[in-house]
Amino acid sequence: MEERTNRQILLVEKPTDRLSPEHFRLTQVPAPAPREGEVLVRVRYISLDAANRAWMQGTTYRSAVEAGSVMAGGALAEVVESRADGLAPGDLVFADTGWQDYAALPARQLIRLPQVTPLTHLLSVYGIAGLTAYFGLLHVGRPTAGETVVVSAAAGSVGSLVGQIGKVKGCRVVGIAGGRDKCDWLTGELGFDAAVDYKADNLFKALKAAAPKGIDVYFDNVGGDILEACLAQMNLRGRIACCGAISQYDGAPGGHGPRGVPGLIVVKRLVMQGFIVTDYFNERDAALGDLQSWVAAGKLKVQEDVIDGLENTPRALVGLLAGENRGKRMIRVG
Ligand SMILES: NC(=O)c1ccc[n+]([C@@H]2O[C@H](COP(=O)([O-])OP(=O)(O)OC[C@H]3O[C@@H](n4cnc5c(N)ncnc54)[C@H](OP(=O)(O)O)[C@@H]3O)[C@@H](O)[C@H]2O)c1
């Protein structure tokens, strides 16, 4: 039988400060053989996510990634050998394969995916990013037409879709992103009404100018100072959809959290709700139907940032945390 070589990227040491490519090492082992009930998958595209870094800090909605193990990560993969009912070679799946060429996984841990063109959309707009934007904005943020929606990490994979979905729903949309180029892209290409450069502008003042009627929905991807600035400008009965806290993922543990909690929340009757995209997976088909129709109608522009080569995955994650990416960053493995 054909001997398959499996390249793997190990997390050799957990970072105590900023993540760097030196925390990883490339190694090679023979590909595993699937057991009864398992399939062997070949990884095609690895999804790079800000949360990859958070998993190194400790248990989140999944167990922590430990030093010495294959770096965890979601991927679009193709079944190459099956010892499970209902899955055959050639089938496409989404799975936590980790950063490697091959993984043998129980069939029940795989999400079967349709063939779409381009395939990469299965990791962006029709993947976790698109569904997180959709459920977080529409089910947690619940904006109505005419309201003001603000989103942070707005040029990232989730944020760029949140803003565009906000426009579909008739809202005024303000993005917060790092750098003038990203801000110009949000307003010029993606149809955001305004954008604030949190690295250069006076955040509080620029936000006030961009959202003169206050904020009804804040989609929070970053936490920290940006959450604090938005909290102070929330309207009565505003909603804050807590999606993530990128500002706290990389580097040494930060100082204290945002001021204004709970005082502003009480006075303004705010709802601040965390969510995990899988909470809404029973409504996935309806969400995908909406996302597909908006893409087809040209209402959602899908920005993807595809980098070639498994060996480049560590550098690509470090770059993502530093703000290199626009839209969904992923690695083409093979
Ligand atoms: N709740 C869920 O189920 C769920 C699911 C998926 C993702 N998430 C969360 O959603 C958020 C967005 O993820 P994503 O995959 O869209 O991100 P992404 O595309 O990976 O974008 C990351 C962006 O964050 C920005 N950033 C980095 N450090 C920052 C800081 N200190 N302050 C402000 N912005 C910073 C950078 O852009 P700039 O150039 O603008 O700084 C960077 O490009 C993350 O918090 C992630 O954990 C949650």
Question: Would you place residue 60 in the very low, low, confident or very high pLDDT band (cuts 50, 70, 90)?
Answer: confident
Mean pLDDT, range 92-102, rounded to an integer: 98
**Protein residue with least CA distance to atom 19, ligand 1:** 156
Q: How many CA atoms lie within 13 A of 250 on its CB side?
A: 17
Q: Work out the pLDDT band at 251, boundaries 50, 70, 90.
A: confident
Asked if residues 176 and 226 have their Cβ atoms less than 8 Å apart, the reply is yes
| 2 pLDDT more than 70 | no
What's the pLDDT score for residue 49?
A: 96
**What pLDDT does residue 1 have?**
58
- Report the residue among 131, 152, 221 best suited for mutation to probe ligand 1: largest number of ligand atoms under 8 A from its CB: 221
Distance between Cα 50 and ligand 1 center (Å): 5
Question: Quick one: CA torsion of 55, 57, 63, 69, rounded to 10 degrees?
Answer: 80
Which atom, in ligand 1's list, is nearest to the CA of 159?
16
**Res. 71: pLDDT tops 90:** yes
pLDDT score for 258: 81
Q: With bands split at pLDDT 50, 70 and 90, how would you rate the model's confidence at 62? A: confident
Asked if the model's pLDDT at residue 253 lies above 90, the reply is no
* pLDDT of amino acid 200: 92
Each residue's pLDDT tens digit, 258-290: 888 888 999 999 999 999 999 999 999 999 999
**Which residue's CA is the closest to the ligand 1 atom numbered 21?**
156
pLDDT in tens, 149-181: 999 999 999 999 999 999 999 999 999 999 999
- The stretch 232-248 carries a mean pLDDT of 97
Residues lining ligand 1, Cβ inside 6 A: 49-51, 128-129, 132, 153, 155-159, 177-179, 182, 221-222, 243-247, 275-277, 320-321, 323, 325
Mean pLDDT, all residues of the chain? 96
Name the band, by pLDDT with cuts 50, 70 and 90, for residue 83: very high
Q: Whose CA is nearest to atom 36 of ligand 1?
A: 323
The strand pairing partners of 305, in sequence order, are 329
- Measured between alpha carbons, how far is 189 from 176 in angstroms, rounded to an integer? 15
Going by CA atoms, what residue is nearest to atom 32 of ligand 1? 247
Q: Whose CA is nearest to atom 42 of ligand 1?
A: 323
pLDDT of residue 311: 98
Ligand 1 atom with the shortest distance to the CA of 179:
39
**Ligand 1 atom index nearest CA of 276:** 3
CA of 156 to the centre of ligand 1 (A): 6
Question: Residue 98 — φ and ψ, nearest 5°?
Answer: 80, 175
Q: Average the pLDDT over 127-150 and give the result.
A: 98
Which H helix or E strand runs over 111? strand 111-113
Question: pLDDT category, 91, cuts 50, 70, 90?
Answer: very high
Tell whether the model's pLDDT for residue 41 goes beyond 90. yes
Among 139, 158, 225, 272, which is best to mutate for testing ligand 1, by the most ligand atoms less than 8 A from CB? 158
Q: Is the peptide bond before 262 cis (omega within 30 degrees of 0)?
A: yes
Find the mean pLDDT for residues 118-142: 98
Question: At residue 88, what is the residue type?
Answer: A
pLDDT at residue 213 greater than cutoff 90: yes
In angstroms, what CA-CA distances link 218 with 142, 241, 249?
10, 6, 20
- Interior CA angle at 43 toward 114 and 287, to 5°? 35
Cα 107 to Cα 40, 97, 136, 179: the distances in Å are 9, 12, 28, 43
